[in-house]
Chains A and B, each alone.
Chain A
């Protein structure tokens, strides 16, 4: 039984195949559904081509679901958070 995960990207084109670091939500039913993990994972656009891969559902910044899920193989669970400063994306954008 394949596990299902979900991730969010601003636009679908922002996500690349290969080994990536990303936040994913575990869609396993139950009280811990949507638990978030920061992982190193191998991603493949074509789920069928990824042997023993799990399912990665992808949503846009507006929450719109990409019709075809990708394949994902989690290689390593990383930290709970990532380095950064609150609102730094806004401050960076304003500085540009």
Chain B
């Protein structure tokens, strides 16, 4: 069952026991963030804070939309206990059939229930949380969806980028210089010195936000893939001040423009790799022109930090499947890709039908070709279940040759500046490196010398296995 909006999703989470409503007054200044962070670290439910200090009744904060695999499964209409491998498989299968969105009339769009224009704009009307102690500001945009467009091609991009309140009518943010938003900005708006229309969407349906984290190819519209995952068209509505289209049932939509000739400071912020690591910058300045919102708006938040949280889970799924598509497209004999959430997209596992140094080199070239989000990849034979990190660790420890099995690629201008181990100098030049660990058997080895894995399933004949399984209880085992 697809969810038409965030409220509909919460209703189901209530039934499955995956949300807790907090009726006690909670402070937007650190308290909500700290509670949310602790809950992630306990592997607990999502939280709906119903009373926020300094704010009128009805203005609420919600943390942790997709912070567990259970909630991801539920968002996709699957049973909560669906295995991660199956979630990956279904996500990949559904992406194959994009569905065009439909455009609603303004009067039918819940996000237009309240409209603030021009001088009425005041970002402080919303309980933007101060999430971590020492952050650069109140991040209203964490579990968000930022809409921008390339007028030249008509391509609309959705991305999940952080944005903080600068003052009552400005936001500051730092979409990475290698992001698709930056690509559109550099390609179209900067050369013309024209402000870039932008809409920051808060509290759309959970699938829309998840798709916003997907590293789709350039010029692919995320809205079509959100429809594909839901199995029905996403409903969009036109913005008040520009021609951008936004999810019609969103809780809050902040419309404005990113200026090409003005900047404001952004950050630092405790980011998705699990650190606050010098990511302070001359941020993009987002001048707000309008805010539209549902009555009793729910401000969605991620108290980002060490995994596992919404970001590391959503990106695990979306980045993993996107990489699999990309590797296949490049002719690499990929079997599966898994991005363990604990690796926060810095570490990925890839299994292949045929391994070896050449294939590992091709994998490394693929992941470092454009913007580089991954710094470590382990290439494995297909007999390893890459959704089981224990099996991956065993294969890595035993099959990766310490001398010839490690390949490194250095680059500049496209590294992920949020990688905590990079020095300040490396971060400011987007300089970095990626490493591929070849944990496959060399294909040139004759079969008779390839070591046999000493597991029950691989070192005994089927005859012995069957006998042992069939007579298991006769040994006195339960």
Contacts and interface: CB of A to CB of B under 8 A. Distances in A.
Nearest to A95: B429
A86 B263 contact: yes
Contacts of A30: 54
A86 B278 CA distance: 18
A88 B124 contact: no
Contact of A32 (B124, B260, B263, B278): B124
Given A31-B54, A93-B429, A63 B134 contact: yes
A63 B428 contact: no
A15 to B, nearest CB: 14
Contacts of B185: 86
A10 B424 CA distance: 10
A63 to B, nearest CB: 3
Interface in B424-467: 424, 428-430
Interface string B259-277: 1111111011010000011
Chain A interface residue number, banded: 20 to 34
Contact of B262 (A31, A65, A81): A81
B71 interface: no
Interface centre among A10, A65, A93 (most CB of B within 10 A): A93
Nearest to B53: A31
A10 B282 CA distance: 12
A77 to B, nearest CB: 11
Interface in B244-288: 258-265, 267-268, 270, 276-285
B194 to A, nearest CB: 13
A81 B280 contact: no
Given A64-B134, A85-B190, A94 B412 contact: yes
Interface string A5-18: 00010100000000
A61 B268 contact: yes
A87 B182 contact: yes
Interface string B9-39: 0000000000000000000010000000000
Interface of A: 8, 10, 23, 25, 30-37, 59, 61-65, 80-91, 93-94, 96
Interface of B: 29, 54-55, 124, 127, 130, 132-138, 165-170, 172, 177, 182, 185, 190, 258-265, 267-268, 270, 276-285, 412-413, 417, 424, 428-430
